[in-house]
Amino acid sequence: MTVTQAAPPPVASDTGPTNTQTRAPRRRPGGSNGRKWLEIAIFAGPALLVFISFVIVPVALAAVYSLYNWNGLGPLDRFIGLDNYVRAFSDPLFVKAIGNNATIVVASILVQGPLAIAVALLLNRRMRGRGLIRALIFVPYVLAEVIAGLSWKLLLSPRGGVNAVLEGIGLGHLAKPWLADPDTALWVMFGILTWKYLGFAILLMLAGLQGVPEELQEAAAIDGASWWQTQWRITLPLLGPTIRIWIFLSMIGSLQLFDMVWVTTKGGPIGATNTMAVYMIQYGQGQYGYGSAIAVILFVISLIVALVYQRFAMRRDLAGAITSGVR
């Protein structure tokens, strides 16, 4: 008779290989996507709600009001279709206002941009009193538009300080009612805008210049490049993103220009300094349907300009946004 012993059960060893395959926690289908959308809702939801409430809804309401002859009181019951838009583009004053906005946009880019770059390059060099000059240049930008506009309105009046200075230095024949002359009022207004907003452009350019590596400029100097060659070949190309952003801000600000014009001239004389926003306030009061049509036109023009510029000029700066697919 033989007795067979049962084999002992396997003992887990601390050193030997073990079958330690662990099962990954089972995830419910769609759990990851659900968490992702929850995070998007938490972080972007409040901003999206504010954007819809204060941008999308007002624009949609303005588009609806623009189709009615409505004075702001009573129900919307006088539907007139696109008559408000036809009226706007048939009014020479509104067409002139669009032209004034376009003139200010182009003049800002051609005059303020190069001037801001030149001053920023100058102030970026080591020089005595550089901090004080930077502060003084930025002072007009921090002034309220109402204060700046009223100050210039007094200075440029027929008996104002500008004409008094001209007469004092023997140039009295140049004295004129600067803001009352239809031939020069728009350019005088552009001069005021340049004085007001040039400091912001210079500050933006100075911030962009801080990102230009000094090693590149030093290497160019060692290679014999002059200061102008260094700025033209190295600094300005590297300053490109800052310049493009400033141009974008300048275009949108010029298209929506209102406060400075309203304070100084209210669009006069004879509509010489009128802008779309000023025209909307002048002719939209009491005619909310017509005013809404002007607001929609201003919004559409600004939106088209912004999208076209972002797609074709800022595509390298905004890669991955609306410029995806652009080559």
Q: From first to last of its 327 residues, what are the pLDDT tens digits of the chain? A: 444 444 444 444 444 444 545 555 555 555 678 888 888 888 888 999 999 999 899 999 999 999 999 888 888 888 998 999 999 999 999 999 999 999 999 999 999 999 999 999 988 888 888 888 888 888 899 889 899 999 999 999 988 899 999 999 988 888 888 998 898 899 999 999 999 999 999 999 999 998 888 888 888 888 888 888 888 888 999 999 999 999 999 999 999 999 999 999 998 888 899 999 999 999 988 899 999 999 999 999 999 999 999 888 887 776 655 444 444
Distance from C-alpha of 224 to C-alpha of 207, rounded to nearest angstrom? 27
pTM, entire model = 0.80
Which has the closest alpha carbon to 189: 60, 280, 316, 101? 101
23 DSSP assignment: P
Residue-level pLDDT at 198: 93
Closest CA to 285 of 272, 298, 295, 275: 295
Give me the pLDDT at residue 217, please: 82
Q: Counting every residue, how long is the chain?
A: 327
pLDDT of 224 reads: 86
pLDDT at 25: 56
pLDDT at residue number 221: 85
pLDDT value at position 23?
58
Contact 82, 297 (CB under 8 A): no
Q: Which two tokens stand for residue 88?
A: 């706007």
Radius of gyration of the chain (CA): 32
pLDDT of residue 130: 81
Tell me if 185 sits within 8 A of 153, measured CB to CB: no
Let me know if 302 is exposed, middle or buried by CB neighbors in 10 A (0-12, 13-18, 19+): middle
CA distances from 99 to 94, 102, 106, 186, 302 (A): 9, 5, 11, 11, 14
Residue type at position 197: Y
3-state SS, 179-238, equals: CCCCCCHHHHHHHHHHHHHHHHHHHHHHHHHCCCCHHHHHHHHHCCCCHHHHHHHHHHHH
Task: Please tell me the distance from the alpha carbon of residue 160 to that of residue 123, in angstroms, as a whole number.
Answer: 33
Q: Could you give the residue ranges of the DSSP H alpha helices within the chain?
A: 31-51, 57-65, 83-90, 92-107, 113-123, 130-142, 145-155, 161-168, 185-209, 214-222, 227-230, 236-238, 240-255, 259-264, 276-284, 288-312
pLDDT for res 13: 46
Contact 239, 205 (CB under 8 A): yes
